[in-house]
């Protein structure tokens, strides 16, 4: 399926997330070119990464797993590499593929994102994507601790893996 068609479908399916999804797609495209990854797959995964957010009952963590299902069922994406990039875009995992890394970090640094340290993270993402992932997860963990929220086990496993420079 071509990207234009997927864009139209996504805009109709999930208008609230659409701007963020297009910006994530654009960032993923740049990262894929930079790192020699499959540009088409990166664009599709970037565009659809939050398609699981349509349903209110899907909270911040579960929308990634739901998203992979929605991408498959609604958008007819059967490519496992794309589906995994969607599935792991929030928590990451050990030994991520380059496509998974690209979608993980593109989501956090797309041009609409504004938070302390985002410019540094944008630069880092193009210099050392593994370090960028560790930095991003570390600030998420700090934020969660500060707010006294429950720490996500999968994110901690990913953080440990990338912090140790694997
Ligand atoms: Fe997301
Ligand atoms: Fe997102």
CA–centroid distance, residue 107 to ligand 2 (Å)? 5
CA–centroid distance, residue 49 to ligand 2 (Å)? 6
Contact between residue 100 and residue 92 where contact means Cβ atoms under 8 Å apart: yes
Residues 113/131/129/108 CA torsion (nearest 10 deg): -20
Q: Which ligand is nearest to the CA of 47?
A: 2
> Which tokens hold the place of 59?
């909270």
Closest CA to 27 of 130, 92, 110, 133: 110
User: What pLDDT does 152 receive?
Assistant: 85
CA–centroid distance, residue 42 to ligand 1 (Å)? 15
Q: Residue ranges per domain, the chain?
A: 3-163
Q: Which ligand is nearest to the CA of 20?
A: 2
DSSP code for 54: S
> Which tokens hold the place of 10?
């996504």
Q: Which ligand is nearest to the CA of 52?
A: 1
pLDDT tens for 115-164 read: 999 999 999 999 999 999 999 999 999 988 898 888 889 999 999 999 98
Q: Kindly report the CATH class assigned to 3-163.
A: mainly alpha
> Which tokens hold the place of 121?
């993270």
Residue with structure tokens 């998203």? 67
pLDDT tens for 35-90 read: 999 999 999 999 999 999 876 555 677 899 999 999 999 999 999 999 999 999 99
Does the pLDDT at position 166 exceed 70?
no
């Amino acid at each position: 399926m071509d990207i234009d068609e997927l864009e139209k479908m996504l805009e109709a399916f999930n208008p609230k997330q659409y701007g963020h999804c297009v910006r994530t797609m654009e960032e993923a495209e740049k990262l894929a070119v930079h790192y020699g990854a499959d540009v088409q797959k990166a664009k599709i995964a970037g565009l659809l990464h939050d398609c699981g957010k349509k349903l209110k009952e899907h909270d911040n963590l579960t929308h990634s797993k739901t998203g992979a299902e929605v991408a498959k069922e609604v958008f007819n994406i059967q490519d496992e590499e794309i589906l995994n990039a969607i599935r792991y875009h929030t928590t990451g995992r050990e030994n991520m593929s380059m496509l998974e890394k690209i979608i993980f970090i593109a989501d956090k640094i797309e041009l609409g994102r504004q938070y302390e340290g985002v410019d540094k993270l944008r630069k880092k993402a193009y210099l050392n994507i593994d370090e960028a992932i560790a930095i991003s997860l570390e600030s998420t963990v700090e934020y969660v601790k500060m707010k006294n929220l429950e720490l996500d086990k999968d994110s901690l496993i990913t953080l440990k893996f990338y912090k140790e420079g694997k």
